[in-house]
Structures are given as structure tokens and as C-alpha cells.
Amino acid sequence: MGEIVKKWYVVRAVSGKEKKVKEYLELEITRMKLNDYVNQVLIPTEKVFKIQNGKKVNKEKAFLPGYVLIEAALVGEVSHVIKGIPNVIGFLGAVKGGEPVPMRLSEVNRILGKVDELAENEEEQKIPFVIGESVKVIDGPFNNFSGVIDEINEDKKKLKVMVKIFGRKNLLELSYMQVEKEG
């Protein structure tokens, strides 16, 4: 048998059900022994940082909601199996309900590159604050106070912010995550 050529396709899924679709796809592929035809199922996600109850929480969020990428050779019943998965709407193609159109390699690399880049950049997150810039405190006891950046500590990701509290200036040390730019 010749080499199986796999291409990347976009499967449209019910938004919010991408993880379920990925799980079902992987189970079904294993169950039907289609591993030779399907390499990987991928949900392009990005890490998002939020402050919840004063703690920095990092969550993964799909940056292409409603889409699941799949690297597969759509031979025989492979595409039929994929379409039959719960919460799958169908393939992204040129014609509605027509043949699935594979993604261009440049598109795949851009999306995969973005996923890798986001994973790498997570640690190297430089937040471009500038001394003298106005910021608003969004977390902690001084929530909603505004102030001006007096000093920046890149290593510790902390700022010293001059805040006027009851008419007097106070210097607060805050983390990057506790303030946002005003304006």
C-alpha cells in the first residue's frame, strides 16, 4: 500500500464543545482502528491570564471557537466517521456540504506557530508600562484608585505607583496584574 497522505482540515464544531469533539474523535478513531489515517486532532488555544479573587488564574481559551483542526487522510469512511461525531457540524469547505477543502500549509503553520509562540511567550510576558504613565488599580485594597507609575521592577513584575488617598500621596507596590492602563 502506498504512503497515506494526510492533510489538515477544519472541522466545524458546536462552539464550546470543541474539547468534547476532540475526545469523541480520538475515541472513535482508536475504536475503528483509523489511526493510520488520522494523525492528530488539535484545538487551537491560547493562555489567558485573569485575576479571580485576588489570585492570578491562567486559563486556556480557544482562539478559534467552533473549530477543531484535524490532520487526516480522508479516505474511505474517515470523513463519514468524523461527520458522525456528536457536536460536529461538518467540514469547512468551499461549498456548503461539499468536499472538505484542506488548509494551506502556510495557514496551518501560522496557527500552529501561534500556539507554540503563545506557549513560549507565556514566561516572557513583558508588559509595556512606562514611568509617569497613569494606571488604575484593579485588584486589592486600593481597587479603583488611579495613580502614576513611579518605578518599574521588570524582574519581579512589580510597579511602584503614586496614588492619592484622601488627598495625600502614597507609594504603593503593586504587581503588573493588579493595574491596568488608563485611557
The residue-averaged pLDDT of 61-86 equals: 88
pLDDT band with cut points at 50, 70 and 90 for residue 112: confident
Question: How much is the mean pLDDT over the chain?
Answer: 83
Residue 79 placed within a domain: yes
Of 2-11, 97-106, 117-126, 129-138, the range with the highest mean pLDDT is 129-138
The residue-averaged pLDDT of 29-36 equals: 91
Same domain, 114 and 141: no
pLDDT band with cut points at 50, 70 and 90 for residue 22: very high
| pTM passes above 0.75 | no
The domain in which residue 20 lies consists of 7-121
Same domain, 79 and 25: yes
Same domain, 85 and 173: no
Residue 60 placed within a domain: yes
The total number of structural domains in the chain stands at: 2
Same domain, 92 and 146: no
Which pLDDT score is estimated for 2? 60
Same domain, 116 and 148: no
The residue-averaged pLDDT of 17-30 equals: 92
Phi, psi of 153 (to 5 degrees): -115, 100
Which pLDDT score is estimated for 119? 58
Same domain, 36 and 90: yes
Residue 50 placed within a domain: yes
∠79-85-86 over CA atoms, to 5°?
150
Same domain, 140 and 75: no
| Domain limit, last residue, from 121, 144, 172 | 121
Residue type, 45: T
| Per-residue CA distances from 158 to 68, 113, 141, 150, 174 (Å) | 38, 30, 16, 11, 6
Which pLDDT score is estimated for 126? 56
Residue 128 placed within a domain: no
Query: What are the pLDDT digits (tens) for 140-165?
Result: 888 999 999 999 888 788 899 999 88
CATH classification at residue 161 = 2.30.30.30
Q: Which of 169, 148, 168 is nearest to 160 (CA)?
A: 148
Alpha-carbon span 128 to 21, nearest angstrom: 38
CATH classification at residue 31 = 3.30.70.940
Which pLDDT score is estimated for 173? 92
The fraction of the chain above a pLDDT of 90, given in percent, is: 33
